[in-house]
Chain A
């Protein structure tokens, strides 16, 4: 029954409006006596869904706006104010209808994303081509995607190549080229080409599904202001009832008391803050920026200090070996082969770079590695081909008691001043070579940092495990306020803690894996990395899906705009309540007009929030 009524809410609204109109028309047709009957019927029909909601809330021990309206309408019926009672109930229902319609619009960014989800998949099972619903794809399935097709699952390309529009994940509409061994994400579209992938994540586990889930929940997570307003409403609503009773006792004017009940409804106040959040978070999602909730939005807007990791955050994170200086009697290729072989067990990006270089030169890295040991933050040690290798920075050389001659040291410093990371490779206790690796500064770094400063960031600091010379070069190039080099992950955590203790509101931007502890420590943890890793999506407060610094500046500007919008709404709502109260007390505002202003104020705060959907942080950022 209740479900039935709720389903037909809109019909009820329509019927009540017809009854009201006929109620007013009947007297002109000479049926004066039927006027009240029509209006009473209109009131009763329309109050039913409202009263049901009020009752449901009471059962959950919560006072709702519906309760205020129900009491007011019953009171109006009691004093024979049928016009007022019918118009109030109609306006309330009609307002709720408009509210639902416009609220839906504030969620349109998310809906646009959800609509990108594919429905079907072409798979090859036992040599047979099948088209199946996307839910039936299982891990390990071989999936075919043709030009114009949507990726149904996350997977790795096993054959073919394609340019892929990854806007659904990254917000970036410029297609990316992908080939064998690259990862593709569900929801992205093959712009041109043909690929076959092996499904790795399906259903709810895909990155796309996680983004949707995250954004949905973020839109519902409340900021401190919202929580406060919720609490406030909880006491405010019953307080209004009591006040109305007091008004009646003092004035003996039931009409005034009822009007008071209606105009004091905290409608716009309750909806004003959440609706800004929903629109703001939706805007972020469409631009590849996941902001995890209203509270994060709030804190992000207050950030005054940003701590950046260097590698992969300010730089591209795709280092290359630019030079190998050989101090040993070995061939350069042999030196590279030995070092790269040891580095195969390293997960460090610099080690991986050396491995990549060796593979590029088709060196054979097969073979046994004995006593391989990673020295965190410093390098790696191992034995291969009965040689003892130590590969890493100066600290590792010192720790291993390996002499660094002046010649070697001067060379290394020279390379570092030129922006390289110098990796020392020692064989049997002697420095055998130096590997120079550079990582270029991101193309959008200058612009993004300038935008961030313009929007109110006071201090930018870079923390890196890399050497001082390289760090200095990057810091100077980007005009950072401060840098700290040669840090271990735990040093970064300490540094962030100190900044917080000094009263700064700190955002830490990093790649989400190495920097996870520091990201978790900061007021706002921000993870970068294409497609986002599971870890970063779990721990970070803000996730940048397209791996672009410009997204950071957008997120920051968006947070400021969202909080500003929320404040405007709250201020406006409070002002409306005061104006209404003054109007009632001075006898300018009555039941129906009070309800009209109340509903109009709700629509205005929603419309104000909708401006956030189209918010752009810069005028010229097509590739945000």
Chain B
């Protein structure tokens, strides 16, 4: 299981954060998603054998967010 931290611009509409959370958690390989809308922080846990941080960040970008991958933590 790997963990990635993404940074996007802060979201200030109620519901926007949950929208992203819902959409991301439907991606295959993604096991947990936490979106902190005000901070623009997205924490994702994913199975590295199914997906990777690069493609997740591409998907977030395709939704119109300027996204930056801040950190990846690998776990055994």
Q: Which residues of A contact B (CB under 8 A)?
A: 53, 56-57, 60-64, 204, 216-217, 220-221, 230, 233-234, 270
State whether the Cβ of B71 lies closer than 8 Å to any Cβ in chain A.
Answer: yes
Given A62-B19, A204-B71, A216 contacting B13 (CB threshold 8 A)? no
| Contact residues in A for B38 (Cβ distance below 8 Å) | 220
Bound: A57/B17 CA distance, A? 11
The answer to whether A234 touches B13, judged by C-beta atoms less than 8 angstroms apart, is no
The answer to whether A217 touches B15, judged by C-beta atoms less than 8 angstroms apart, is no
| Contact residues in B for A230 (Cβ distance below 8 Å) | 14-15, 18
The answer to whether B39 touches A64, judged by C-beta atoms less than 8 angstroms apart, is no
The answer to whether B13 touches A60, judged by C-beta atoms less than 8 angstroms apart, is yes
Describe A's contact surface by its main secondary structure.
helix
| Contact residues in B for A270 (Cβ distance below 8 Å) | 14
The answer to whether B19 touches A61, judged by C-beta atoms less than 8 angstroms apart, is yes
Known contacts A53-B12, A62-B14, A220-B36; 12 further A-B pairs (Cβ under 8 A): A56-B13, A60-B11, A60-B13, A62-B13, A63-B15, A204-B71, A217-B41, A220-B38, A220-B39, A230-B15, A230-B18, A233-B14
B11 nearest in chain A by CB position: A60
Bound: A304/B15 CA distance, A? 34
Bound: A331/B68 CA distance, A? 66
In the complex, 9 of the A-B residue pairs with CB atoms within 8 angstroms, ordered by the A residue number, are A56-B13, A60-B11, A60-B19, A62-B15, A204-B71, A216-B36, A233-B14, A234-B15, A270-B14
The answer to whether B16 touches A57, judged by C-beta atoms less than 8 angstroms apart, is yes
A217 nearest in chain B by CB position: B36
A57 nearest in chain B by CB position: B13
5 shortest interchain CB distances as A-B pairs: A62-B15, A57-B13, A220-B36, A60-B16, A64-B13
| Contact residues in B for A61 (Cβ distance below 8 Å) | 15, 19
CB within 8 Å of A: which B45-76 residues:
71
Q: Which of B16, B37, B71 contacts A220 (CB 8 A)?
A: B37
Bound: A61/B15 CA distance, A? 8
| Contact residues in A for B18 (Cβ distance below 8 Å) | 230
| Contact residues in A for B37 (Cβ distance below 8 Å) | 220
Q: CB-CB contacts of B21-38 with A at 8 A, as 1s and 0s?
A: 000000000000010111
Bound: A64/B15 CA distance, A? 9
The answer to whether A53 touches B13, judged by C-beta atoms less than 8 angstroms apart, is yes
- What is the distance, in angstroms, from B57's C-beta to the closest C-beta of chain A? 18
Bound: A63/B19 CA distance, A? 12
| Contact residues in B for A63 (Cβ distance below 8 Å) | 15
- What is the distance, in angstroms, from B52's C-beta to the closest C-beta of chain A? 21
The answer to whether B39 touches A57, judged by C-beta atoms less than 8 angstroms apart, is no
| Contact residues in B for A56 (Cβ distance below 8 Å) | 13
Interface centre among A57, A61, A204 (most CB of B within 10 A): A57
- What is the distance, in angstroms, from A236's C-beta to the closest C-beta of chain B? 11
Interface centre among B11, B13, B36 (most CB of A within 10 A): B13
Bound: A376/B16 CA distance, A? 49
| Contact residues in B for A233 (Cβ distance below 8 Å) | 14-15
| Contact residues in A for B39 (Cβ distance below 8 Å) | 216-217, 220
- What is the distance, in angstroms, from B19's C-beta to the closest C-beta of chain A? 5
Bound: A388/B74 CA distance, A? 42
| Contact residues in A for B12 (Cβ distance below 8 Å) | 53
B37 nearest in chain A by CB position: A220
| Contact residues in B for A217 (Cβ distance below 8 Å) | 34, 36, 39, 41
| Contact residues in A for B36 (Cβ distance below 8 Å) | 216-217, 220-221
Bound: A263/B34 CA distance, A? 33
B12 nearest in chain A by CB position: A53
Bound: A216/B40 CA distance, A? 11
Bound: A204/B73 CA distance, A? 13
Bound: A230/B14 CA distance, A? 7
| Contact residues in B for A221 (Cβ distance below 8 Å) | 36
Q: Which of A64, A204, A216, A220 contacts B14 (CB 8 A)?
A: A64
Bound: A161/B32 CA distance, A? 45
- What is the distance, in angstroms, from B59's C-beta to the closest C-beta of chain A? 16
- What is the distance, in angstroms, from B62's C-beta to the closest C-beta of chain A? 14
A229 nearest in chain B by CB position: B14
A61 nearest in chain B by CB position: B19
Bound: A230/B36 CA distance, A? 14
| Contact residues in B for A60 (Cβ distance below 8 Å) | 11, 13, 15-16, 19
- What is the distance, in angstroms, from B38's C-beta to the closest C-beta of chain A? 5
B13 nearest in chain A by CB position: A57
| Contact residues in B for A220 (Cβ distance below 8 Å) | 36-39
| Contact residues in B for A64 (Cβ distance below 8 Å) | 13-14
B16 nearest in chain A by CB position: A60
Q: Which of B15, B34, B71 contacts A57 (CB 8 A)?
A: B15
A63 nearest in chain B by CB position: B15
- What is the distance, in angstroms, from A181's C-beta to the closest C-beta of chain B? 29
